[in-house]
Amino acid sequence: MDKEINAFIVYLHNVKRTSENTELSYRRDLMKVRNYMEEQGIEDVKKITSTNLNSYVLYLEKNKFSPATISRNIASLKAFYHYMYKEGMVLEDAAEALHAPRIEKKMPEILSTDEVVRLLEQPSGNSPKEIRDKAMLELLYATGIRVTELITLKLKDVNLQMGYLVCKDGGKERVIPFGNEARSALIRYLEGTRASMIADPDSEYLFANCSGQPMSRQGFWKLIKFYAKKAGIMADITPHTLRHSFAAHLVENGADLRSVQEMLGHSDISTTQIYANMNHNRIREVYAKAHPRH
Query: pLDDT (tens digit, 9 = 90+) per residue, 64-111?
Result: 888 888 999 999 999 999 999 999 999 999 999 888 777 656 666 778
Which range of 75-89, 249-263, 278-292 scores highest in mean pLDDT? It is 75-89
Q: Which domains does the chain have, with CATH numbers?
A: 2-86 (1.10.150.130), 113-288 (1.10.443.10)
Judge whether 155 and 207 are in contact, CB under 8 Å. no
pLDDT for the residue 267: 66
Report whether pLDDT(197) > 60. yes
Least confident of 52-56, 110-114, 169-173, 243-247: 169-173
Report whether pLDDT(294) > 70. no
CA distances 249 to 11, 60, 191, 228, Å, are 39, 37, 31, 18
Report whether pLDDT(282) > 80. no
Residue 208, φ and ψ in degrees, nearest 5: -130, 155
Residue 205 in 3-state DSSP?
strand
Query: pLDDT (tens digit, 9 = 90+) per residue, 103-160?
Result: 656 666 778 888 989 999 999 889 999 999 999 999 998 888 888 889 989 999 999 9
Query: pLDDT (tens digit, 9 = 90+) per residue, 11-59?
Result: 999 998 888 888 999 999 999 999 999 999 999 999 999 999 999 999 9
Q: What is the mean pLDDT of residues 258-273?
A: 70
- Predicted confidence band at 280 (pLDDT cuts at 50, 70, 90)? low
Distance CA 91, CA 282 (A): 53
Higher pLDDT, 286 or 173: 173
pLDDT for the residue 201: 81
Q: Give strand pairing partners of 208.
A: 214
Q: What is the mean pLDDT of residues 234-245?
A: 82
For residue 154, what are the contacts with CB-CB under 8 A and spacing of at least 6?
204, 205, 206
Q: Is the four-CA dihedral 156, 249, 274, 241 of positive or negative sign?
A: positive
Distance CA 1, CA 122 (A): 49
Report whether pLDDT(283) > 60. no
Residues in the chain: 294
